[in-house]
């Protein structure tokens, strides 16, 4: 039986940093208001980099750290809701940029849980023996979709990319268990980029709406209800207990959400890694950005038992038990 393990990580974020004070000059807000409600202090905004550029930077760092030959990469999955194009896929652009001529490449779209869904797909391919390795990247340039008249939403999001190299192993490590799901009945709680079905033969307007729209209260309630349930189901499936878990790497949406999840799971808050103060909510990139930071700081060690848990538009959610 095969397992899939994370053997390398990498990230890439725009150099341009936008602080809460910077936003207060164009939006009716202030640093105290943003920090008290979200824990976010600053975020990185694109200076012209597209999602494929950031994803390529993350992939190049993964390749450098792992030493893998790009020609040996077999699968590339990119999770994004802010792709350069509707088609071609961002993954195909990354494939060309890094010279991974032998890889199969495609995108997944599950918003803030996108990295979890991409990781799940790659894990199955590897465990079934179809591929020996895969690069999975979450990448977002959400700044291009923000409505800066909507202070409750525009202050929350940022741009960035990060990912992992997943490789086949026969050791019982890596991705041990997962719990993922969707609730399309609540899909309209968070939307972005509506494109109407207008054409020259009907009376439907062709004007698209690019901006992000979010019912903040609905998403807050969804996250604080669904994530604890997802994590509990994951632990039940795996036969593990909360005190066995070294770290939880949650989607970096809001520090208050993470605090509530910690209380509901009766797990110490210091087990939950957070870096939204630096990046804001980077959707599909947030979990791998946090993971990569933990690896760089030496927090993740051989044998560390971690839970990844993401939630977002769709509505979607996903939790994984991962052993390093």
Cis peptide before 22 (omega within 30 of 0): no
Catalytic amino acids?
112, 251, 281
The answer to whether the CB of 228 falls within 8 A of the CB of 264 is yes
Say which residues have a Cβ less than 8 Å from residue 67's Cβ, sequence separation at least 6: none
Residues 6 or more apart whose Cβ sits within 8 Å of residue 134: 4, 73, 74, 75, 76, 77, 122, 125, 126, 165, 166
- Do the Cβ atoms of 160 and 54 come closer than 8 Å? yes
Give the closest residue to 285 by CA, choosing from 111, 124, 152: 111
How many C-beta atoms surround the C-beta of residue 102 within 10 A?
13
């Amino acid at each position: 039986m095969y397992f899939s393990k994370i053997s390398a990580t990498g990230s890439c974020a725009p150099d341009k940093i936008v602080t809460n004070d910077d936003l207060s000059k164009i939006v009716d807000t202030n640093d105290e208001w943003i920090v008290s409600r979200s824990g976010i202090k600053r975020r990185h905004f694109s200076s012209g980099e597209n999602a494929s550029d950031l994803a390529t930077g993350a992939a190049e760092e993964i390749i450098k750290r792992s030493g893998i030959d790009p020609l040996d990469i077999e699968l590339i999955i990119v999770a994004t809701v802010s792709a350069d194009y509707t088609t071609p896929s961002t993954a195909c652009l990354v494939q060309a940029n890094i010279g991974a001529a032998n890889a199969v490449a495609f995108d997944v779209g599950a918003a803030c849980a996108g990295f979890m869904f991409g990781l799940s797909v790659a894990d199955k391919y590897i465990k079934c023996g179809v591929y020996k390795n895969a690069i999975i990247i979450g990448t977002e340039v959400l700044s291009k979709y923000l409505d800066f008249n909507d202070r409750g939403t525009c202050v929350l999001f940022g741009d960035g990319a990060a990912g992992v190299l997943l490789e086949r192993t026969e050791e019982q490590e890596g991705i041990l268990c997962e719990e993922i799901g969707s609730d399309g009945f609540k899909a309209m709680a968070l939307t972005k980029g509506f494109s109407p079905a207008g054409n020259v033969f009907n009376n439907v307007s062709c004007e698209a709406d690019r901006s992000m729209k979010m019912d903040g209260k609905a998403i807050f309630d969804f996250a604080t209800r669904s994530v604890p349930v997802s994590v509990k189901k994951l632990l039940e499936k795996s036969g593990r207990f909360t005190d066995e878990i070294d770290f939880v790497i949650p989607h970096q949406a809001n520090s208050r959400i993470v605090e509530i999840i910690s209380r509901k799971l009766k797990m110490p808050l210091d087990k939950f890694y957070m870096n939204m103060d630096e990046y804001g909510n980077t959707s599909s990139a947030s979990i791998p950005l946090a993971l990569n930071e933990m690896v760089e700081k030496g927090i993740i060690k051989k044998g560390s038992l971690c839970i990844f848990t993401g939630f977002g538009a769709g509505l979607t959610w996903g939790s994984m038990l991962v052993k390093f």
